[in-house]
A and B are shown apart, each in its own frame.
Chain A
Amino acid sequence: MSGPPLLSVRGLAKRYGGVIALNGVDLDASAGELLGIIGPNGSGKSTLFDCVTGLVTPDAGRVALGGEDVTGRPLHRLAARGLVRSFQKTAVFGTLSLVDNLVAAGQARAFGGTLAAFAVGGAAGRRTATLTARALGLLDALDLAPLASAPAAAISFGQQKLLQFASCLMSEPRLVLLDEPLAGVNPLLVERMVAHIRRVNGEARTAFVIIEHNTDALLGLCARVVVLARGRVLAAGAPQAVARDARVVEAYLGGVDGQG
């Protein structure tokens, strides 16, 4: 592997009053990697994503994307550089249809600028048609095609999770951060989503960094896993090795929440 890693996090720290959420986290993800992040509740996983994507300003530390320092850069600029994230609290555009949710998620890249989005006629119509075709393909792959024109607020929680996942793929990003994508999704669809992540990863070399409590699914999917505990990287490596690590077992059993 030559050149800088796709995502590089160095010494990331964040405290909320007396609570230390992140205490100097170092983390790398390379292009096309499937990286899992696990850790007990309150170990700083979501804060890590928030700091990486500029939603929360870190107290210290650096975030680089493809070797370029992007610390604290706003969300939409990161998306333009090929980094897209999902949110733990399920988020969809409630009043837009499923197709429009996906087109909205892809249009910033397809149209290129705010003014271009106001354009009407030939070129704009073709761009929208391309996005719509892509959206329908994704909905089909995730068993959501029959609901394509329903408003996103009307579909089930699990279906919203799938929609959010599909939305992240619309702009063909280099790196996707998924925050608990499998939580609340029924087991059949979990399999389908895991298969879809594998396929996108294999075909488009999209890298995924995934926070997930469903450790079975995650350890099966990811080639490398990072364990966070109390705002620090406790262990990192192949899933089997990490799962046997005594410190990891201790962190989970001795943690706030035995289930993690």
Chain B
Amino acid sequence: MLAPLAASDYVLHVAVLSFIYLLPALGLNLVYGYAGLLSLATGAFFGIGAYASALLALRLGWPFWLALPAAGVVCAVVAVPMAVPALRLRSYSFVMVTLGFLVISESVAKNWIGLTRGDMGLIDIPRPRFAGAALTSVPQLYYLTLAAAVLAALAFRTIVRSAAGRALVALRDDETLAAAYGLDTWRFKLAAFVLGALLAGLGGSLYAHYTAVLDPLVFDVFHTLTLLTIVFGGGAGTLHGVLLGTVVFLFVPEALRVTPQWRMVLYGLLLVVFVFRLPGGLGPALARLGRRP
């Protein structure tokens, strides 16, 4: 919490990124870990939120505090026409449609040059202002994104502990059975998908205003893979697992920079070990360890 007093700006930068990534990771966790829908569109909503927020700030002069919720709303609204046909599909077809959505989103960002400036990207995205001054130093942005991450985690916890959260787990376990007890499984899946998009969009907005530059690479599948690694490796369907995964899977690749040539090889090996040794994810594995006498 008081890391800014001790840590270097570089370490803080990685911490900020992990706080920002927590939002789309929680979005994906709600959609996959709870509703059981493997969606690759989370990365797309992260990018759409980033672009929406940056463009509202640059073109219309909206302050960050308005652009942030607007980015979430834009993603939630876009998610509905995307989900309505996609949710009629089962497992693999659904995954392919969400991947298609990611590819199309990237293509729009690259080619709608009048709006997004294409590959030239957007620059000078205004930093968030607080108490009359722009937050420009890394420690300031650390506290802002930390607050956003804490609020997102609390909101997530509220959702999954509600009756709706129970309904999502029920339909993930057995959709037909959930319907037999009167749960409108289609609507619950839609709600989870929209909320997941909203969380991802808020994360995208934070990302755009933190980095201050934005180009179509925000839609790169790398971001989506990072989110999948966080959720799968941390522990899908848990909050603590995803919190842990966000920190571990953003800091480990950075820590491995001590050996640049072996970095990605070691990271890959680590992921393989994770998959085989901790199939439920890091969070649940630690929880088991804690229960052991």
Contact = CB atoms under 8 A, between A and B. Distances in A.
A93 B174 contact: yes
A117 B167 contact: yes
B173 to A, nearest CB: 4
Contact of B163 (A87, A91, A117): A117
Interface string A85-111: 111000111111000110111111101
A66 B174 CA distance: 28
B133 to A, nearest CB: 36
Interface in A42-78: 53, 55, 74-76
A30 interface: no
How many chain B residues sit at the interface, stated as a range, is 20 to 34
A84 B180 contact: yes
B287 to A, nearest CB: 14
A153 to B, nearest CB: 9
B211 interface: no
Given A93-B169, A94-B173, A120-B158, A79 B179 contact: yes
A54 to B, nearest CB: 9
Contacts of B167: 104, 107-108, 117
A79 B184 CA distance: 10
Given A96-B169, A114-B188, A171 B181 contact: yes
A118 interface: yes
B155 to A, nearest CB: 10
Contacts of A147: none
A91 B177 contact: yes
A128 B188 CA distance: 18
Interface string B176-199: 111111111101100100000000
Contacts of B158: 120
A16 B173 CA distance: 28
A94 to B, nearest CB: 5
A224 B177 CA distance: 28
Contact of A93 (B159, B162, B170): B170
Interface in B191-235: 191
A75 B181 CA distance: 8
B176 A96 contact: no
Nearest to B167: A117
Nearest to A127: B163
Contact of A114 (B164, B169, B181, B237): B164
B184 A114 contact: yes
B257 interface: no
B277 interface: no
B176 A76 contact: no
Contacts of B184: 76, 108, 114
A108 B166 contact: no
A167 interface: yes
Interface in B92-119: none
Most A Cβ at <10 Å: residue of B159, B182, B237: B182
Contact of A120 (B162, B166, B191): B162
Interface in B7-51: none
Contacts of B162: 117-120, 124
A114 B173 contact: no
Contacts of B188: 114, 117
Given A107-B167, A118-B164, A119-B162, A80 B182 contact: yes
Contacts of B191: 114-115, 118
A170 interface: yes
Given A75-B176, A93-B173, A100 B183 contact: no
Contacts of A85: 180
6 contacts: A79-B179, A92-B177, A96-B173, A107-B166, A117-B188, A170-B181
> Which 10 pairs across A and B sit closest by C-beta, in order of nearness?
A79-B182, A108-B182, A117-B164, A75-B179, A114-B187, A117-B163, A105-B181, A93-B173, A104-B170, A76-B179
